[in-house]
Chain A
Amino acid sequence: MRPILMKGHERPLTFLKYNRDGDLLFSCAKDHTPTVWFADNGERLGTYRGHNGAVWCCDVSRDSVRLITGSADQTVKLWNVKTGAQLYTFNFGSPARSVDFSVGDKLAVITTDPFMELTSAIHVKRIARDPTEQTEESVLVIKGPQGRINRAVWGPLNRTIISAGEDAVIRIWDSETGKLLMESDKDSGHKKTITSLSKSADGSHFLTGSLDKSAQLWDARTLTRIKTYVTERPVNAVAMSPLLDHVVLGGGQDASAVTTTDHRAGKFEAKFYDKILQEEIGGVKGHFGPLNALAFNPDGKSFSSGGEDGYVRLHHFDPDYFNIKI
């Protein structure tokens, strides 16, 4: 395949997100400006100016009207996707690390980092249909985990919030009361910081990637570990294909690899694994630096990866990708 290279960011990428229809790709990077691209040809549509710090995460509403971004400048902003205008700003006491819209886009879960005396926390905010009615108030604030919470997402039917972070423990909280429902087992779970979490298309299971060079697949209701995928590099980003049973891992530092690979394209690759067999299917090379973000188009026919090199690479699969057999 011929990947499309998009160099809109001058700093490393942090997050990538497709909208529900699969025609727009939102990219967040450390350069303060989230960008939106057309997902078929990589043409840039626009940028959202306003943040003063690295943008760590974003999410887009199902109708692709509203964008929410979390940034290191201690704010979370709501934007109009079409015009790029800022609709509202939530202020926090510490950098916001992860944002996620609920099903129905009426609520959003935001995590904040530990900063000075503040511990990390998970906030749930109500999102009003009309931006003028938006208020700052939190519906729920959950504190508890030690260390940074790298990712928090809504569980099935918005009943739970799933969080994962630096302490390598995955926690499931009740979204109405804030009570801790379940915790992943310290022995069977990850051993190091969990860097990324990605839900399946139907929300029934999710994938976590960690610096311990593995990724694990969990059931979202019972928090039992289903599968484990092992790589040689710390995992920074994970994604699941909505169409085939494939899992993609993107990672990190090239400590021991002294390979004599192609000097033209970069050596850092996105590794594809069979979701069920846990075996490696192959790798897609190209990035010149560690991969920090991965996202699959909801139609499953293309995916994009964002790296430390500031490039977003958009890959449309060749027809023979769909016929791969182990």
Chain B
Amino acid sequence: MAFEKSDPNLSKPSKLRWGELEEDDDLDFLLPPKEVIGPDENGIKKVIEYKFNDEGNKVKITTTTRVRKLAKARFNKRALERRNWEKFGDAVREDVGSRLTMVSTEEIILERPRAPGSKQEEMKVAGDSLAQLSKGGAVLMVCRTCGKKGDHWTSKCPYKDLAAPAETFVDKPAASETSVAASGSSKGAYVPPSMRAGADRTAGSDMRRRNDENSVRVTNLSEDTREPDLLELFRPFGAVTRVYVAMDQKTGASRGFGFVNFVNREDAQRAINKLNGYGYDNLILRVEWATPRSN
């Protein structure tokens, strides 16, 4: 018995058989499906449609719209009715430009209270007491917290500010005060308070500037590298105040580079020396000073 083969080509308007068709003609009359992209984080929605224009050519039409959510009105039926009530009282004569109701021009946030003994202060004192100790001479102790040999004890490790226990903060000022006294008297010459080592510099802006001078740029990072990874990698060299990894907002992956700010310039130098060319997550890192002029 002869079967009717269901031939998809039968629906074609032309009388060509499928074997005689060329590859790219095959899909000529088929339009790609409509794509809807979005709405993304800015509320942009793209709709891509394909159709044939008057000349029979395939055209692609991209419609970009912005989807914005307004404050939701209540779903309640009675509330919706109330929305349509007429104005009364003084509102009757209200003109559109009366501007009684305005949206604030500034963004107001729920400001969280700052904890007393803010981190800025702690970091500053820690940095200075570390400087003290390194000048004061080598003490062969291993800091349990950051694993660095020689320069400091654990109680003075600046990584404490991440854990922030109150007692240690109290310890540090006492230590820095005594060491200030020591250095002042040993020198013999008068050193103004603002220039003494361990001096309480204002607002930490000095600190921040120095930090930016001790900034190390790391390039050729793998996609999955994040701030904690860099911190872990650079901590053994010394006190790190800030790590930053440039992130691609759309994909969430690292853009391949980042910055590490050290408290001490010597630590930064050592990190550059040791980690430049270091293999990390299958890529060879490039580690250098962040600003082209390092001194």
Specify which of B70, B85, B106 is in contact with A264 (CB 8 Å cutoff): B106
**Hey, which chain B residues are within 8 Å of A264, CB to CB?**
106
Contact status B100-A6, CB under 8 Å: yes
Contact status A2-B104, CB under 8 Å: yes
Specify which of B74, B76, B87, B110 is in contact with A45 (CB 8 Å cutoff): B87
A252 to chain B, nearest CB (A): 19
Q: Tell me which residues from 295 to 326 in chain A have a Cβ below 8 Å from any Cβ of chain B.
A: 313, 315-316, 318, 321, 324
Contact status A22-B74, CB under 8 Å: yes
**Hey, which chain A residues are within 8 Å of B90, CB to CB?**
8, 33, 35, 46-47, 49
B293 at the interface (CB under 8 A from A): no
A23 to B79, CA, bound (A): 6
Contact status B101-A42, CB under 8 Å: yes
Contact status B71-A46, CB under 8 Å: no
Contact status B74-A21, CB under 8 Å: yes
Residue of B76, B82, B92, B103 with most chain A CB atoms under a 10 A cut-off = B82
B9 to chain A, nearest CB (A): 54
Q: Tell me which residues from 71 to 122 in chain B have a Cβ below 8 Å from any Cβ of chain A.
A: 71-74, 76, 78-79, 82-83, 85, 87-92, 94, 100-104, 106-113
A75 to B110, CA, bound (A): 39
Contact status A44-B100, CB under 8 Å: yes
Show 12 A/B contacts (Cβ-Cβ < 8 Å), sorted by A: A1-B107, A4-B103, A5-B101, A5-B103, A6-B100, A37-B101, A46-B85, A47-B91, A49-B90, A82-B82, A282-B112, A286-B104
A3 to B76, CA, bound (A): 24
**Hey, which chain A residues are within 8 Å of B110, CB to CB?**
272, 281-284, 321, 324
Specify which of B79, B89, B104, B111 is in contact with A282 (CB 8 Å cutoff): B111
A256 at the interface (CB under 8 A from B): no
**Hey, which chain B residues are within 8 Å of A324, CB to CB?**
110
Specify which of A35, A38, A316 is in contact with B83 (CB 8 Å cutoff): A38
Contact status B109-A2, CB under 8 Å: no
A227 at the interface (CB under 8 A from B): no
Measured CB to CB, the residues of B under 8 A from A are 70-74, 76, 78-79, 82-83, 85, 87-92, 94, 100-104, 106-113
**Hey, which chain B residues are within 8 Å of A269, CB to CB?**
111
Q: Can you name the residue of chain B whose Cβ is closest to the Cβ of A24?
A: B82
> Across the A-B interface, how many residue pairs have beta carbons closer than 8 Å?
115
Contact status A285-B101, CB under 8 Å: no
Known: A6-B101, A23-B83. A46 touches B106 (CB 8 A): no
Contact status A45-B101, CB under 8 Å: no
Other than the given A8-B90, A23-B82, 18 more pairs (CB < 8 A) read A1-B108, A4-B103, A7-B100, A43-B101, A44-B87, A45-B82, A45-B87, A46-B85, A46-B92, A47-B89, A82-B85, A265-B108, A272-B110, A280-B113, A282-B111, A284-B108, A284-B109, A286-B104
**Hey, which chain A residues are within 8 Å of B82, CB to CB?**
23-24, 45, 64, 82
Q: Can you name the residue of chain A whose Cβ is closest to the Cβ of B89?
A: A47
A42 to B104, CA, bound (A): 12
Contact status B108-A46, CB under 8 Å: no
Write out, one digit per residue, whether chain A residues 1-28 have a CB within 8 A of any chain B CB (1) or not (0).
1111111100000000000011110000
A45 to B79, CA, bound (A): 13
A40 at the interface (CB under 8 A from B): yes
Known: A4-B101, A6-B101, A40-B72. A281 touches B89 (CB 8 A): no
Contact status A2-B78, CB under 8 Å: no
Q: Can you name the residue of chain A whose Cβ is closest to the Cβ of B71?
A: A40
**Hey, which chain B residues are within 8 Å of A250, CB to CB?**
none
Contact status B104-A21, CB under 8 Å: no
Contact status B79-A48, CB under 8 Å: no
9 nearest A-B residue pairs (beta carbon): A47-B89, A84-B88, A46-B88, A23-B79, A42-B101, A282-B110, A47-B90, A46-B89, A40-B71
